[in-house]
Amino acid sequence: MKNTNPFKFSLFAVALTTAVASSQAFALDHINEANQSAYVTSFKALDVDNDSSLTPAEVKTEKLFSKNFSAADKNNDGKLDQEEYTNYKSQAEQKNVKRVAKDSVITSKVKGNLLMDEGLKSLKVSVKTHKGVVQLSGFVETESQIEQAGKIANETEGVKSVKNNLLLKKD
């Protein structure tokens, strides 16, 4: 029975990875469609002088544009038309969806690898990932379990770094 657990987990991990990848593609298609009207509404709300363009002053409340106005201003005329606004905002949101999907896959891989380790599988270790940085938290029995969990996470594909916040249980 012990030998089937890693196999079952591997199947689960493959299924989860496939589901995340499929949902990512589906989400990206629907973001474009659903957000077009939201982008138009948002653009019009920001266009306080109703000149069909946005100045840096008009978009200063939107963090995305206040920091990246020149990158969004493709024709370098000092203002954003509706197409520039929509394209830049859409690309930024798509990039974020991809990042979240990648982080979810990394989290799943790390959790799976921890579950496959005999010394860690019965422990409740929380795994969170942001931009490839994995954070481990929870309580373990020994110092060697803290080290082993960190090593497993660090060796997992896609992990850029590990913040090991695991703590020893106090009796």
**Looking at residue 18, what is its pLDDT?**
57
> How many domains are contained in the chain?
1
CATH number for the domain spanning 99: value is 1.10.238.10
Give the strands of the sheet with 125-130, arranged side by side.
125-130, 133-140, 161-168
pLDDT band at 5 (very low <50, low <70, confident <90, very high): low
Contact 99, 91 (CB under 8 A): no
pLDDT tens, 84-136?
999 999 999 999 999 999 999 999 999 999 999 988 876 789 999 999 999 99
Tokens of 103: 């982080």
Span of 13-22, 69-78, 101-110 with lowest mean pLDDT:
13-22
Instruction: Give the pLDDT band (50/70/90) at residue 164.
Output: very high
pLDDT of residue 51: 95
Q: Which domain holds residue 60?
A: 4-168
3-state SS assignment for residue 49: coil
Residue 73: how many other CB atoms lie within 10 Å: 19
